[in-house]
C-alpha cells in the first residue's frame, strides 16, 4: 500500500503537535513507521488520505460499537446542531439521557456527565475519598484509568509498597496515596488492607482489563474485591469506560454479576463524541456538589451535541439487544479461525476474549495480569501488525491494547481478515 500522503501529514503534524499526535498510541511508537491519517470512515471501514481502505478492529478504541458514521447518530447530531451546540445551561436532553442510562444499568440511581473517561475516573475517586473521609486508593498494575496524576503510578519495590510515579510531573506525594496491587491476585489486595487499615477509600479496577490486551478477571476475583471492600467500609469502583454498554447493556456489572459502588463510563456512552460519566447510589451521589461538599464541574459537560450522539447510541442498543449476541458470535468466530491459523503455523500464542473484546499475545504463557502480558514477542508483533496493515486490516498499533469489534463488521469481513491473517503468518 502507498502511505505517501499520510507520511507527509505526519511530518507536518510534528511541527505543531507534540509527537505529531494528540494521544501517544496513535504515533505508532510501539510498532514503528508512520501512522495512517484517516480521511473518512463508514460502517466497519476506514479510508486514509492515500485512499487505502481498511477493515477497522479498534472502533475508535471502543466507542463505535454500531459502526462508523451510523446514520441515526449523524442525523441526531445534525438536527441538534441547528438549535445550538453549547449553552452552559441545563437542557431537557441531559435529564432524558440520564434517565435512559439509570434505567438500563443495575445498581445506580444517579449519574453525572463529564467530557472524558479520565474526568469520570478522577471524579469518581474524589467522590470516594469525600464519602469515606479516607485518602488512599488501590489500583492494579496495567489497568489504565486515564491520565490524571493519581493513576499514572506503577509498582515500586513490590505490590506491598507505595507506588512511585511513572510520568514526570506526578509528585511523590500523590504517589503515596496510590497503592498498587496485581490484577487477578487477591492476596496482593489483602496485603494492602492489612498494611493500611482504615485508610483505603476505594479500589478502582477495570472489571475486564483492556490496556494490557483483553484480560478477563479470574473466577471469584471481583467477588473477593466486593467482599473485602464491604468488610473495610471501602468503595469498589468499576472503571467501565471500555466495558460499559459494550459487554452488555448493563456493562460488566451485568455480564459478570458483581455490583460496584461507583461506576465510570466513556467511549460507547458518547457515540463517538467526547462524553464521560460516573454513577452511583443516591446515598453516595448526594455528597456531590451542588448538593454536597465534593466539588466537580465542567463548562462543556452535558453539551447538546455529545448528549444527542450518546442518547441515540444507547437508545439504539436498548432497542436491539440482539447486537450483543451478534458481536459475541463474530468475536468467537474470529477467535476460532485465528486459532486454527496459529496452530497450523506452529506459532506460540494466547488469545483472550470477553464479549466483543479480544487480544492476541505471541507467547506460550497464560496472560492474566500486566506482568504476564509483557512476555509476548513484541518484535514478532510489529511484523504482524504491519503485515496486516498492508493487507487492509487496521489493528491496535500496540501489543497491549484490546481489539474492539463493531456491529457493522460482517462475516465476509472476518473471513477476509482470516485469509489475510494466514497469509501474513506464513510470510513471517
pLDDT tens for each residue of the chain, 428 residues long? 899 999 999 999 999 999 999 998 899 998 999 999 999 999 999 999 999 999 999 999 999 999 999 999 999 999 999 999 999 999 999 999 999 999 999 899 999 999 999 999 999 999 999 999 999 999 999 898 988 877 877 532 233 334 456 677 887 777 789 999 999 999 999 999 999 999 999 999 999 999 999 999 999 999 999 999 999 999 999 999 999 999 999 999 999 999 999 999 999 999 999 999 999 999 999 999 999 999 999 999 999 999 999 999 999 999 999 999 999 999 999 999 999 999 999 999 999 999 999 999 999 999 999 999 999 998 999 999 999 999 999 999 999 999 999 999 999 999 999 999 999 999 99
Instruction: Yes or no: say if 172 and 226 are a contact pair by the CB < 8 Å rule.
Output: no
Its CATH architecture, for the domain 4-69+322-427, is Alpha-Beta Complex (3.90)
382 tagged catalytic = no
Is-same-fold flag (4-69+322-427; 71-319)? Answer: no
Work out the end-to-end distance of the chain between its first and last CA atoms, rounded to an integer number of angstroms: 18
CA distance 66 to 199: 42
Number of Cα atoms under 13 Å in the Cβ half of residue 4: 3
The single residue of 239, 261, 407, 413 carrying the catalytic annotation is 239
Cβ density class 78-112: b for 16+ within 10 Å, e for less: eebeeeeeeeeeebebbeebbebbeebbebbebbb
Locate the domains of the chain by residue range: 4-69+322-427, 71-319
Question: Which of 165, 86, 100, 151 lies closest to 123 in space, CA to CA?
Answer: 151
Q: Quick one: 69 exposed, middle or buried, by C-beta within 10 A (0-12, 13-18, 19+)?
A: middle
83 tagged catalytic = no
Instruction: Yes or no: say if 203 and 229 are a contact pair by the CB < 8 Å rule.
Output: yes
The reported pLDDT for the residue numbered 166 is: 64
In the numeric block, the cell 496493515 is attached to 389
The reported pLDDT for the residue numbered 151 is: 82
Upstream peptide bond of 164 is cis (omega within 30 degrees of 0) = no
The single residue of 45, 48, 56, 267 carrying the catalytic annotation is 267
> 196 to each of 44, 100, 136, 152, how far by Cα in Å?
48, 39, 9, 21
Walk across the sheet containing 110-114 and list its strands. 110-114, 276-280, 262-265, 235-240, 200-205, 136-141, 178-182
> How much is the pTM?
0.95
CA distance 288 to 285: 5
267 tagged catalytic = yes
In the numeric block, the cell 465476509 is attached to 412
CA distance 298 to 400: 31
Which residues sit opposite 412 in a β-bridge?
A: none
DSSP 162: B
The single residue of 45, 131, 144, 349 carrying the catalytic annotation is 144
The DSSP string of 182-226 is ETT-HHHHHHHHHHSTTTEEEEEE-SSB-SSS-BPPPTTHHHHHH
Task: Please identify, in words, the CATH class of the domain defined by 71-319.
Answer: alpha beta
Amino acid at each position: 500500500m502507498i502511505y505517501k500522503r499520510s507520511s507527509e501529514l505526519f511530518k507536518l503534524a510534528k511541527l505543531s503537535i507534540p509527537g505529531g499526535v494528540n494521544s501517544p498510541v496513535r504515533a505508532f511508537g510501539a510498532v514503528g513507521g508512520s501512522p495512517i491519517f484517516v480521511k473518512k470512515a463508514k460502517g466497519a471501514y476506514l479510508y486514509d488520505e492515500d485512499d487505502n481502505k481498511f477493515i477497522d478492529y479498534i472502533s475508535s478504541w471502543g466507542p463505535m460499537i454500531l459502526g462508523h458514521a451510523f446514520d441515526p447518530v449523524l442525523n441526531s447530531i445534525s438536527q441538534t446542531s441547528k438549535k445550538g451546540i453549547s449553552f452552559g445551561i441545563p437542557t431537557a436532553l441531559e435529564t432524558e439521557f440520564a434517565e435512559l442510562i439509570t434505567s438500563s444499568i443495575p445498581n445506580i440511581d444517579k449519574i453525572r456527565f463529564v467530557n472524558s473517561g479520565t474526568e469520570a475516573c478522577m471524579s469518581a475517586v474524589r467522590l470516594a475519598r469525600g464519602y469515606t473521609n479516607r485518602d488512599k486508593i488501590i489500583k492494579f498494575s496495567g489497568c489504565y484509568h486515564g491520565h490524571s496524576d493519581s493513576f499514572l503510578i506503577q509498582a515500586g519495590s513490590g505490590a506491598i509498597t507505595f507506588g512511585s510515579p511513572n510520568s514526570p510531573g506526578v509528585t511523590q506525594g500523590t504517589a503515596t496515596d496510590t497503592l498498587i496491587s496485581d490484577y487477578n491476585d487477591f492476596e496482593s489486595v489483602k496485603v494492602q488492607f492489612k498494611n493500611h487499615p482504615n485508610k483505603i477509600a476505594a479500589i478502582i479496577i477495570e472489571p475486564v482489563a483492556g490496556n494490557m490486551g483483553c484480560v478477563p478477571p479470574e473466577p471469584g476475583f471481583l467477588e473477593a474485591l466486593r467482599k473485602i471492600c464491604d468488610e473495610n467500609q471501602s468503595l469498589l469502583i468499576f472503571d467501565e469506560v471500555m466495558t460499559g454498554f459494550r459487554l452488555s447493556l448493563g456493562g460488566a456489572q451485568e455480564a459478570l454479576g458483581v455490583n460496584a459502588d461507583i461506576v465510570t463510563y466513556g467511549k460507547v456512552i458518547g457515540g463517538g463524541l467526547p462524553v464521560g460519566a460516573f454513577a452511583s447510589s443516591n446515598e453516595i451521589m448526594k455528597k456531590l456538589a451542588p448538593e454536597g461538599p465534593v466539588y466537580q464541574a465542567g463548562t462543556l459537560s452535558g453539551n447538546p451535541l455529545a448528549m444527542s450522539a450518546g442518547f441515540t447510541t444507547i437508545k439504539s442498543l436498548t432497542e436491539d439487544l440482539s447486537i450483543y449476541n451478534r458481536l459475541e458470535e463474530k468475536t468467537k468466530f474470529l477467535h476460532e479461525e485465528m486459532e486454527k491459523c496459529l496452530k497450523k503455523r506452529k506459532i506460540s500464542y494466547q488469545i483472550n476474549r470477553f464479549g466483543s473484546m479480544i487480544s492476541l499475545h505471541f507467547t506460550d504463557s497464560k496472560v492474566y495480569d500486566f506482568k504476564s502480558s509483557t512476555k509476548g514477542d513484541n518484535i514478532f508483533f510489529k511484523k504482524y501488525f504491519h503485515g496486516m496493515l498492508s493487507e487492509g486490516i487496521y489493528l491496535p498499533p500496540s501489543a497491549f491494547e484490546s481489539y474492539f469489534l463493531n456491529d457493522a463488521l460482517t462475516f465476509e469481513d472476518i473471513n477476509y481478515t482470516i485469509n489475510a491473517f494466514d497469509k501474513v503468518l506464513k510470510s513471517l
